[in-house]
Structure 1
Amino acid sequence: MFLSLIMIVLAYLCGSLCSAVIVCRAFGHPDPRTDGSNNPGTTNVLRIAGKGPAALVLLGDVLKGTIPVWLAYFFKLEPIALGFVALAACIGHIFPCFFGFKGGKAVATALGAMFPIGWSLACLLLVTWLFVALITGYSSLAAVVTFALAPVYTFFIKPMYTIPVLMLAVLIIARHKENIARLYLGKESKIWDKGKKLKE
């Protein structure tokens, strides 16, 4: 129990390291929280800073989820405890204590948190996201579809982790409620859209 609490706190602190803000500051680009869609995530950094910085942000956000969950997995925490570690990393990304509690959607962090479960699950998630994103052009739709399917994939790969993955899926889909509304109304921005009044 004590180890689980320590891992949850460490996961939150790890998640609170906002890769988008750190990378944009390092390369002299505008703050992603106040430029583009105002969302400190990979898609917005791609729009305002280009592919290189966006790739670094994606890597950083994925590792924020992978590292604490892999450590929890290494220390043989129970599946439910591991799920709370993953949630803590995502909540850190959404409400980062180091950046005024204003973060992003935690899609990459949640994906990273699922990777330690197995490469087969990781590949399925990445293929699903890429397929939907490339076909539709909507990053948000790709995220929603991917996380809606994640518990199903997990059930057939490692069923003991279905509940933790479901917990993550509910969090991420809930974070996209505004995107879902804009998709329904046909007002959602596509990945390659540029401009100052974007929504993400």
Structure 2
Amino acid sequence: MKGMKCLLIVPLLIGAYICGTLNGAYYIDKIHFRKDIRELGSTTAGARNAGRVFGKGAFVGALLIDTIKTVIPLAAGFMLSFSSWMIGILALFVLIGHIWPIQLGYKGGKGIVVYLASVLVIVPVALPFSLFILITAKLLKVSFTNAGLLALIPAPVLLFIQTEWQLACFFSFMLIIVIFAHKRSVFNE
């Protein structure tokens, strides 16, 4: 069985990246509205931008697609009893595919939904803490983007507390990538 798992690692990683590239905002908006979301609003292919430009239905649709595309490879990893290290790599590959999708010229979303969907599957206990931080930050009039980024912090912190070092490192790295994706417009100016 161990040899069989080794044979599945590369296809699973490629599959995780491909799942990540299936960008909900881009495809919903391209098919339904016949527009490229990357040319509208904040010019990112993310659920929030889809919602801003095309309304609540586009937001919810993008959110669902991006959640499902994240859950599928992670669930496969769990069903195959992969180590937490491998599950972390799968989550990372979905995130990379979402932010830098090859078929969209490496111009995708910013990764919040993929990150949170990974939290939902791998460390769901962090979600109430994330919600608390989000609500508190909003009450303190912190911008929505910054409040959202702050809400991503509980997952790696809780994983470090639980001494799940490998997953804590992966979530920390993913958090850095998401922050970078949100700040990349600053770097490009």
Shorter-chain TM-score: what band?
A: 0.7 to 0.9
Shift of 1:17: 0.6
**Structure ranking higher on relative contact order (CA contacts 8 Å, 6+ apart):** 1
User: What does the per-residue CA deviation read over 1:14-53, in whole Å, with 9 as the maximum and x for residues that have no partner?
Assistant: 0001110111123316321001110111111111111111
Asked whether the 8 Å contact 1:117–1:158 carries over to 2, the reply is no
- Distance in 2 between residues matched to 1:62 and 1:33, nearest whole Å: 20
- Distance in 2 between residues matched to 1:7 and 1:78, nearest whole Å: 13
Query: What residue in structure 1 maps to residue 8 of structure 2?
Result: 3
**3-state DSSP class of the match of 1:176?**
helix
Relative to the length of structure 1, the TM-score reads 0.78
- Distance in 2 between residues matched to 1:158 and 1:166, nearest whole Å: 14
Query: What residue in structure 2 maps to residue 145 of structure 1?
Result: 150
Query: What residue in structure 1 maps to residue 65 of structure 2?
Result: 60
Query: What residue in structure 1 maps to residue 176 of structure 2?
Result: 170
Q: Tell me, which stretches of 5 or more residues in structure 1 are unaligned?
A: 183-200
Relative to the length of structure 2, the TM-score reads 0.82
The 1:70–1:126 alpha-carbon spacing in structure 2 relative to 1, beyond 3 Å, is farther
The 1:133–1:12 alpha-carbon spacing in structure 2 relative to 1, beyond 3 Å, is farther
- Distance in 2 between residues matched to 1:51 and 1:137, nearest whole Å: 23
User: What does the per-residue CA deviation read over 1:155-199, in whole Å, with 9 as the maximum and x for residues that have no partner?
Assistant: 3457353222222122212222347x69xxxxxxxxxxxxxxxxx
Query: What residue in structure 2 maps to residue 73 of structure 1?
Result: 78
Shift of 1:5: 1.9
**3-state DSSP class of the match of 1:147?**
coil
- Distance in 1 between residues matched to 2:140 and 2:67, nearest whole Å: 23
Moved over 4 A (4+): none
Choose the corresponding residue for 1:96, options 95, 101, 108: 101
**3-state DSSP class of the match of 1:101?**
coil
- Distance in 2 between residues matched to 1:36 and 1:43, nearest whole Å: 10
Shift of 1:132: 3.2
Aligned residue pairs total 181
Deviates more, 1:94-103 or 1:152-161: 152-161
**Identity between Structure 1 and Structure 2 (%):** 27
Asked whether the 8 Å contact 1:17–1:98 carries over to 2, the reply is no
Q: Tell me, which stretches of 5 or more residues in structure 2 are unaligned?
A: 1-5
Query: What residue in structure 2 maps to residue 194 of structure 1?
Result: none
The 1:113–1:147 alpha-carbon spacing in structure 2 relative to 1, beyond 3 Å, is same
| Cα RMSD after superposing both structures | 2.4
Please state if 1:48 is matched with 2:70: no
Asked whether the 8 Å contact 2:26–2:37 carries over to 1, the reply is yes
Asked whether the 8 Å contact 1:29–1:48 carries over to 2, the reply is no
